[in-house]
Amino acid sequence: MAFVLPNSTRQFAFNRADHVGSFLRPSIVLEARKAFKEKAHDAEALRKVEDAEISSLIEQERAVGIHSFSDGEFRREYFHLDLRRVMFSRLSSGIKITANNLPGPKQEATTPTISVVGKLKHVKPIQLADYLFLQERIDPSKKEVVKVAIPSPTMVHFRGGRSSIDLAAYPNLDEFFDDLAAAYRAEIKTLADAGCKFLQLDDTNLAYLCDLKMREAAAGRGEDLNTLPRQYAQLINAALRDRPAGMTVGIHLCRGNFRSRHFAEGGYEPIAQVLFQELDVDVYFLEFDTERAGTFEPLRFLPKGEKVVILGLIKVIKNRIAEAAKFAPLEQLGLSPQCGFSSTVHGNEVCLFMSLHGLRILTIDRSPLLTSGPK
Domains located in the chain, CATH noted? 10-370 (3.20.20.210)
Give 226 or 13, the one with higher predicted confidence.
226
Give me the mean pLDDT over the 12-19 stretch. 64
Contact 297, 289 (CB under 8 A): no
N-terminal to C-terminal alpha carbon distance within the chain:
6
Q: Could you give the CA distance from residue 23 to residue 113 in angstroms, rounded to a whole number? A: 23
Alpha-carbon gap, residue 14 to 2, rounded angstroms: 6
Helix (H) or strand (E) holding 201: strand 198-202
Read off φ and ψ for residue 113, nearest 5 degrees.
-125, 160
Residues 130 and 71: beta-carbon distance below 8 Å: yes
The string of pLDDT tens digits covering residues 156-165 is 888 778 888 8
How far is 209 from 217, CA to CA, in rounded Å? 10
Is 68:18 a contact under the CB 8 Å cutoff? Answer: yes
Q: How far is CA 248 from CA 61, 97, 170, 200, 266, in A?
A: 20, 33, 32, 8, 28
Report pTM. 0.80
What pLDDT does residue 41 have? 82
Residue 324 has a pLDDT of: 78
pLDDT at 102: 36
Span 270-293, pLDDT tens digits: 999 999 999 999 999 988 867 777
Cβ–Cβ < 8 Å for 145, 58: no
**Residues whose CB falls within 8 Å of the CB of residue 173, separated by 6 or more in sequence, listed in order:** 162, 165
**CA gap 305, 152 in Å, rounded:** 25
Task: Give per-residue pLDDT as tens, 116-173.
Answer: 888 888 888 989 999 999 999 999 999 899 999 999 999 888 877 888 888 998 999 9
Higher pLDDT: 324 or 237? It is: 237
Residue 364's pLDDT band, with cuts at 50, 70 and 90, is very low
Between 243 and 60, the more confident residue is 243
pLDDT for the residue numbered 117: 81
Measured CA to CA, the distance from residue 160 to residue 11 in angstroms comes to 37
CA 309 to chain centroid, in Å, comes to: 14
Higher pLDDT, 238 or 342: 238
Is beta strand 108-115 parallel, antiparallel or unpaired with respect to 90-98?
Answer: antiparallel
Which has the higher per-residue pLDDT, 78 or 176? 176
Give CA–CA dist 179/220, Å, rounded.
26
354-372 burial code (b ≥16 CB/10 A, e <16)? ebbebbebbbebbeebbee
Q: At what angle do helices 228-239 and 173-193 cross, to 10 degrees?
A: 40
Specify the pLDDT at position 1: 46
- Answer with the residue of higher pLDDT: 14 or 195: 195
Residue 233 has pLDDT above 50, yes or no: yes
Question: Which residue, 119, 106, 50, is CA-closest to 82?
Answer: 50
Nearest to 23 by CA among 102, 94, 76: 76
pLDDT one-digit tens code per residue, 254-270: 775 544 455 667 899 99
Q: What length does the chain have? A: 375
Q: What is the pLDDT of residues 80-119, one digit of tens each?
A: 555 555 455 443 433 333 334 434 444 455 556 667 888 8
Q: Is the pLDDT of residue 298 over 90?
A: yes
Kindly list the distances between the CA atom of residue 249 and the CA atoms of 149, 194, 292, 301, in Å, as whole numbers in the listed order.
10, 16, 26, 19
